[in-house]
Amino acid sequence: MSIAVVTGGAGFIGSHMVDLLLAEGHRVHVIDNLSGGRLQNLEQHKSDPNLAVEVRDIRELDASDPLFKDAQYVFHFAGIGDLVPSIEQPVDYVSTNTMGTVRVLEAARRARVRKFVYAASSTCYGFAEVPTREDAPISPQYPYALSKYMGEEAALHWGRVYKLPVVSIRIFNAYGTRSRTSGAYGAVFGVFLAQKLAGKPFTVVGDGTQRRDFLYVTDLARAFLLAAQSGGASAIYNAAAGAPQSVNRLVELLGGGEIVHLPKRPGEPDCTWADISKISSELGWTPQVSFEEGVARMLKNIDYWRQAPVWDESSIAQATSEWFKYLQS
């Protein structure tokens, strides 16, 4: 039975990775500081002897950490994921997303793992041409994007210098059950689902015609597993559906309702759209869950967001004031 380490394994994507790994017969070691993750996300596996969970911060990892002993794979999801707060907390983001990654890389190197798979971010592309290929110019627009890209560069550096087999997967717009419910102003799904539960208007940034290349989380976990099982040394892949959807379409699938339009945010592209031909041809991966089916799954589990903060025009304006201050051209 192979051992897989999942950092951030109690979080949104990480917990779905744990589900898949256990289903595939792996023993799974999870590390999570629970700043964004929830043990509830792993509740269904609480009696599984093949799952071990440690509540710790990746920045405290020692290179010889026993959690990594005999591990074949490391899936690195741990980090701070909300975009907007990074403009006010750049040091925290670099400390966790970049230096935390270095700590995990060193533990993986010492353990001589077979493959290190890094959860990178498509925000590294900035305002890219679409569909966006992996060789597109890099242009981070805000500290979150920079911190994740520096983490990716560290991972690839460890691959070149220390011969640690690394795959970096640039995630576009992941969504699905268990997405974040933290107090930080975050991804559109969590914001909208909490508003729907509270009977409040949907706060749509701009006119809602902006499109995002949404990818359902179980499809994403499968991409990570295929990447871990792939041959070769280092590689970079885009992971997305390759079929961008508008925010207005999302509102429609959520049942519609009253809408409040907010000012368009600087630093964010009108469209994210990945060219996924590389991951499809090299790993044999294609997304399986349609946008309509994915949204339906989230609505079926909408109670998960009942305790999430309900954002409105005023609170969003306050949360994004520094964003506009620094990124407005």
Query: Residue 54 gets which letter from DSSP?
Result: E
- Please, where are the H alpha helices in the chain? 12-23, 90-93, 100-111, 143-162, 188-198, 217-229, 247-253, 277-283, 291-300, 313-319, 321-327
Q: List the structure tokens of 278.
A: 């590389």
181: closest CA among 84, 308, 300? 308
Active site residues: 144
End-to-end CA distance of the chain: 54
Count of beta carbons in the 10 Å neighbourhood of residue 24: 12
Q: What are phi and psi of 92, to 5 degrees?
A: -60, -40
Residue for token pair 């994740």:
148
Q: What are phi and psi of 69, to 5 degrees?
A: -60, 130
